[in-house]
Amino acid sequence: MNERDSEAVAAQLVAKGYSLAPAEGTADVVLLNTCSVRDAAEQKAIGKMHGLAAEVRRHRPNVVLGFMGCMAQSRGQALLDRLPDVDLVVGTQKFHRTAEYLDEIFSGKRNKICDVGEEEGSEATIREHILAGNARTRSVTAFVSIMQGCNQYCTFCIVPYTRGQERSRTIPDIVGECRELAARGVKEITLLGQIVTSYGKREIGVRDGRSAFVQLLEAVHEIEGLQRIRFTSPHPKGYGDDLVEAYGRLPKLCESAHIPVQSGSDRILKLMHRGYTRAGCLAIIQKLRRIQPRIGITTDIIVGFPGETENDFEATLSLAQEAEFDNAYIFKYSPRKDTPAATMPDQVPQEIKEERNQRLLNVVNEIGAGKYEAQVGKCVEILVEGPSRRNPARLQGRTRTNKIVVFEGSERQIGQLLDLKIHRTGSFTLYGDPAIVNLDIDNSLSQ
Ligand code: SF4
C-alpha cells in the first residue's frame, strides 16, 4: 500500500515538472512515507529523518523534508513540533495535495505545512502510475488502489485510525485505470486496499448473490490484454462462497490466496475482534483447495497478543500445521497507542514473544520448504517480471501461486508468460529452466 501511495505521489510530482532524483543526497525534496503498524517502523522513520536533517540539510539548507502516510496522520503537528527540520506533514487522505503544498513552500507563501484532515473522495485520487520504460526494467505488473480505510477495528490495529473509514472507488473508475495500465503493457494487476474483501459493501452492495468485490473482479477480468489478477489484503470473513467460486470461474484470477488468520485460538481471535473462528478459517482453506487444489495460501500471524497463554499459542501452532500454509508472515505483538489491546491486561513479556516467534517460524518454514521442494521437477507458468533482485544478470518471474522463480533468460522475455521446469529451490525461491519453450517465444524467434 505504501509503495503504491509513494508511486502515486512521485507521479503527481513528475507531472508537475519534477524529476526523480537518483539518490536522497541530490534531491530537492525528500518525503518519507511512513508506516504505523508497529512501533519499530515509526522509530525507524524518525531516526531516518534525523539522519537526513544532519546530512542532507547540512550541505543543502533549502531541501524540503517531509513525512507522509500513517505516522504523519497519527502524529500530525507533533512531528513539526518535535523535529524542527521537518517542513511538510501530509496525512493519508491528502497525498494528492503534495505538489500544491511543495509549491507553497518553495514560493515562500508558507513556511511549514501539516494537513491530516479528512477529505471526501480522496479514495479515488491514488491513480497515477510511473511505469518504467526501458526494455530491461519495464513494468509488467502494477498495483491499483480500490479503496481506503477499514471499519473492522481489530483491537491490535491502528489502521482504522490512520486510514479512516472504508471508502471505495467506483467499478468504472477502477476498470478505467486498469484498462489504461493494460494498454501500457501491464499484464498483471494487484487490487489493493486495507480490507479489499469489504470493497463497495455500502456503495455497491450484493447483486445476484455476488459481493461488490466479486463484481469488481469480474469487471477487471474482462479487460483485454490483462493476463493475471491478484488482490491484497483480504479479510478471512470476506471469503464467501461467491469469492471461493470465482477462483474456479475466472481464469485470470491467480491461484493464490492470503488468509490472515492472526491466531489459532478462538479465545484470542475474540479478544482481537477478528469476527471469525479457527474452524471457519480452516473451512475456507478447505473450500479453496477443493476448487483449486494447487492454490498457494499464505497468512499473517501475531504471537504474544495480550493474554495469549501457552495453550492459545499451541492452538496457533496446530493451526499452522493443519492449514499447511505456503508461507506465513509472523509478527510479535507490538502495542499501538490508543488501540484497545495496548491496555489489555496480561501483556506477554518480550522473551516469551521471541520464543514463540521462533517456534512458530520453525514450523511454518518447515512446511513452506516442503511445499517448495514439491515443485522440483514440475513445470510452472510464470510471468517474467524483470531482472532478479539478488542477481540482476538473471531474470525473475512469479508463478500463479505467487512463488518467485529465478532463471537464465533474455530481456525479450520480460512481460511474457513462460513455462519453466523447476530444478531446485532456495529459501522461498524456485530456480527453473525454460526447458519447455512456449508458443510466444517460438513466434518471436521466427520473426
Ligand atoms: S481488518 Fe486489517 S486493517 Fe482492518 S483493523 Fe483489522 S487488521 Fe487492521
Residue bearing the CA closest to ligand 1, atom 8: 157
pLDDT tens-digit readout, 27-69: 999 999 999 988 889 999 999 999 999 988 888 889 999 999 9
Report the relative pairing of strands 429-433 and 404-407 from DSSP bridges.
parallel
CB of 275 sitting under 6 A from ligand 1: no
How many A from CA of 334 to the centre of ligand 1?
14
**What is the per-residue burial (b if ≥16 Cβ within 10 Å, else e) of 195-229?**
bbbbbbbeebeeeeebbbbbbbbeebbebeebbbb
> What is the reported pLDDT for 250?
98
Instruction: List the beta bridge partners of residue 384.
Output: 397
Looking at residue 56, its pLDDT comes to 87
Does ligand 1 lie within 6 Å of residue 152's CB atom? yes
- The identity of residue 40, as a single letter, is A
Residue 353 Cα to ligand 1 middle (Å): 21
Q: Among the atoms of ligand 1, which is closest to the Cα of residue 160?
A: 5
Low-confidence ranges of the chain (pLDDT < 70): 133-137, 435-447
Choose which residue among 147, 148, 154 to substitute to test ligand 1 binding: the one with the highest number of ligand atoms within 8 A of its C-beta. 154
Q: What is the pTM of this model?
A: 0.93
Cell of 290: 477443493
Q: Residue 447 and residue 443: Cα distance in Å, rounded?
A: 6
Sign of the alpha-carbon torsion through 437, 439, 442, 445 = negative
Q: Is 150 in the pocket of ligand 1 (CB under 6 A)?
A: yes
Tell me the three state secondary structure of residue 159.
helix
What is the distance in A from the centroid of ligand 1 to the CA of 280? 18
Q: What is the pLDDT of residue 68?
A: 97
The verdict on the CB of residue 193 being under 6 Å from ligand 1 is no
Indicate the pairing of strand 296-303 with strand 379-387.
unpaired
Residues 299-344: tens digit of each pLDDT:
999 999 999 999 999 999 999 999 999 999 999 999 998 899 999 9
User: Measured in angstroms, how far is the CA atom of residue 156 from the centroid of ligand 1?
Assistant: 8
CA distances to 45, 63, 381 from 66, rounded to whole Å, are 11, 10, 42
Instruction: Kindly give the number of the ligand 1 atom that is closest to the alpha carbon of 158.
Output: 8
pLDDT at 379: 95
| 160 Cβ inside 6 Å of ligand 1 | yes
Task: Using the mean position of ligand 1's atoms as its centre, give its distance from the Cα of residue 165 in Å.
Answer: 11
What pLDDT is recorded for position 442?
A: 38
Nearest CA to ligand 1 atom 6: 154
Q: What is the dihedral of CA 174, 176, 180, 181, to 10 degrees?
A: 20
